[in-house]
Amino acid sequence: MTETNNIDQEDSPTPLQQIIYLLRKYKLVEGLVNLQENTDDPSLNESAVQQQNLTELQVFLDQLHPADIAHILEALPLEDRLLIWSLIKTDRDGEVLLETSDAVRATLITDMGNHELVAATEYLDADEIADLAPDLPQEVMDNVFSSLPIEEREQLRAAMSYPEDSVGALMDFDVITIREDVRLEVVLRYLRRLEELPDHTDQLFIVDRDEQLKGVLLINRLLVSDPDTLVAEVMTKEMIKLRPNAIAQQAANAFERYDLVSASVVDDNNKLLGRVTVNAVIDYIRETAENEALNLAGLSEEEDLFAPVLKSVKNRWGWLAINLVTAFIASRVIGLFEDSIEKLVALAALMPIIAGIGGNSGNQTITMIVRALALDQIDTSSAWKLITKEVGVSIVNGLLWGTVVGLFTFAIYQNAELGLVMTLAMTLNLLLAALLGVIIPLTLRKFGRDPALGSSVMITAVTDSGGFFIFLGLATFFLL
């Protein structure tokens, strides 16, 4: 972050563009050097130019924020990525690793020796090391553990014990604690003795001798109060206390609703364990939204843009296999009606319309319900109201769009009965989509499953097979 780091200057090159420019310059000369080695012409000392280009790259990298470096590494193909990575100073390696996506982090860690990895963790806090731990070799973690002072070792052990999506995984240990029976002047003097305060310190935590959390002193309160006041007089007793084993989403909801910068984490005995800060929450919100989008699209996890082909194939494997199974089932449903299709081949051309619109409509319903479930806005009493509403919407949509497809069918095939069957099939399939669009996520939820996962695949499977069955069944019954 330099003074000129004004992110609004759209016409000036981004750090990524500058790196790409410097990389090209470097590689161009490298090409010349290689050429020169073959021709043995020492007229130009290319390798000095080369060295200068490398230095230029390094100087530029040194002034970038770790998050910007991570962003650049993610955007570069593997070869360039590792070249840039080798230019990052060891004392910043850890911070950069923290900021990269899991997939890209793996490519960087693979490139490092165990010794380098241990060195990289030296500049990190215990909670940060815990974030990297799943990606580090066991040997490295053993070394890290034994090199830590006892207090940090205990913190690291605690941080690593919380599951990934828990409040504990978002927690850090950078809390400043004070006693309630001192004057604010004493607090101010105490703070001045610290060289700096932890980032996102918007409150000091007030604990008693047993480390029980009694309240918080907001920094904003500290600043506007008379220094002669006692902490107890201006402390806030109303506060958010998080539990380390609660799901992280609860912390995210609290931060979003109550506009927090930090919040305390306490154990069952009200003992202060640490705090969660808003930057950890933002990262969590982003990642969750990201994963949801990836899952919807059928990607198991975030993918390195430049991952090797086989690795990508594996990442996309699971959902394609599931979809293939549902496609096979739909295919067999159609197979049941091959005689009908043989007699009236127009059915084959028309059936995807019924299935497709049913799938779209079902996904609209499911998205709404899943969202409301995530926000805890549906209980049993409202479930019936929702089903009634969705059924109403599907009947209106069914008759409306059903009439459109009916007219389309009549226009093309000059067959009024076929048009009516289309209208009826469309209405019934949208009705099916509406009912299951409410029932599927509610049922998943009831059995303790995440309704966001798989709902969409299931509703599409139902509206495909169901749509084919309804349409071909009606056609066979009424037309043949």
Site for its own copies in 120-139 (CB under 8 A): none
Annotate 232-257 with DSSP letters as a single string.
Answer: HHH-B----EE-TTSBHHHHHHHHHH
For residues 25 and 371, which CB has a smaller minimum distance to its own copies in the complex? Answer: 371
Quote the least distance from Cβ 91 to its own copies, whole Å.
18
Q: Are strands 213-218 and 241-242 parallel, antiparallel or unpaired?
A: unpaired
For residues 48 and 407, which CB has a smaller minimum distance to its own copies in the complex? Answer: 407
Given candidates 49, 145, 179, 356, which one binds its own copies under the rule CB under 8 A?
A: 356
Q: Are strands 241-242 and 262-266 parallel, antiparallel or unpaired?
A: parallel
Given candidates 350, 428, 438, 458, which one binds its own copies under the rule CB under 8 A?
A: 350
For residues 119 and 191, which CB has a smaller minimum distance to its own copies in the complex? Answer: 191
Given candidates 16, 119, 133, 479, which one binds its own copies under the rule CB under 8 A?
A: 16
Does 169 bind its own copies (CB under 8 A)? Our answer is no
d(CA 388, CA 382): 10
Given candidates 56, 181, 233, 256, which one binds its own copies under the rule CB under 8 A?
A: 256
Given candidates 83, 285, 435, 439, which one binds its own copies under the rule CB under 8 A?
A: 285
Q: Which stretch binds its own copies (CB under 8 A): 46-54, 114-122, 324-332, 440-448?
A: 324-332
For residues 40 and 259, which CB has a smaller minimum distance to its own copies in the complex? Answer: 259
Given candidates 67, 119, 133, 182, which one binds its own copies under the rule CB under 8 A?
A: 67
- The single-letter code of the amino acid at 19 is I
Question: Reduced to 3 states, what is the DSSP secondary structure of residue 296?
Answer: helix
Q: Which residues contact 189 (CB under 8 A, 6 or more apart)?
A: none
Does 341 bind its own copies (CB under 8 A)? Our answer is yes
- Return phi, psi of residue 10, to 5°: -70, -25
The footprint of its own copies on this chain (CB under 8 A) covers a number of residues equal to 141
Residues 196-225 within binding reach of its own copies (CB under 8 A) = 196-197, 199-202, 219-221, 223-225
Does 75 bind its own copies (CB under 8 A)? Our answer is yes
For residues 46 and 95, which CB has a smaller minimum distance to its own copies in the complex? Answer: 95
Residues 416-445 within binding reach of its own copies (CB under 8 A) = none
Q: How buried is 204 (Cβ within 10 angstroms: 0-12 exposed, 13-18 middle, 19+ buried)?
A: buried
Residues 243 and 267: beta-carbon distance below 8 Å: yes
Residues 180 and 235: beta-carbon distance below 8 Å: yes
CA distances to 127, 267, 317, 417 from 476, rounded to whole Å, are 65, 65, 37, 12
Hey, what's the torsion of the CAs at 427, 428, 434, 435, to 10 degrees? 150
Question: Reduced to 3 states, what is the DSSP secondary structure of residue 13?
Answer: coil
For residues 136 and 184, which CB has a smaller minimum distance to its own copies in the complex? Answer: 184
Does 389 bind its own copies (CB under 8 A)? Our answer is yes
Helices (H), 337-454: 338-343, 346-374, 380-413, 416-446
Q: Are strands 272-277 and 262-266 parallel, antiparallel or unpaired?
A: antiparallel
Does 271 bind its own copies (CB under 8 A)? Our answer is no
Quote the least distance from Cβ 433 to its own copies, whole Å.
11
Residues 36-65 within binding reach of its own copies (CB under 8 A) = 65
For residues 151 and 342, which CB has a smaller minimum distance to its own copies in the complex? Answer: 342
Q: Which stretch binds its own copies (CB under 8 A): 40-48, 123-131, 135-143, 237-245?
A: 237-245
Quote the least distance from Cβ 178 to its own copies, whole Å.
13
For residues 51 and 220, which CB has a smaller minimum distance to its own copies in the complex? Answer: 220
Q: What share of the chain is helix, strand, coil (3-state, %, to 5)?
A: 70, 5, 25
Q: How far apart are the first and last CA of the chain?
A: 74
Helices (H), 111-183: 114-121, 126-132, 138-147, 150-161, 167-170
Does 330 bind its own copies (CB under 8 A)? Our answer is yes
Q: Which stretch binds its own copies (CB under 8 A): 36-44, 119-127, 155-163, 236-244?
A: 236-244
Quote the least distance from Cβ 57 to its own copies, whole Å.
17
144-150: which pairs have CB atoms within 8 A and are 24 or more residues apart? 144/118, 147/118, 147/122
Does 12 bind its own copies (CB under 8 A)? Our answer is no
Residues 459 and 440: beta-carbon distance below 8 Å: yes
Residues 297-316 within binding reach of its own copies (CB under 8 A) = 297-299, 303, 305-307, 309-310, 312-313, 316
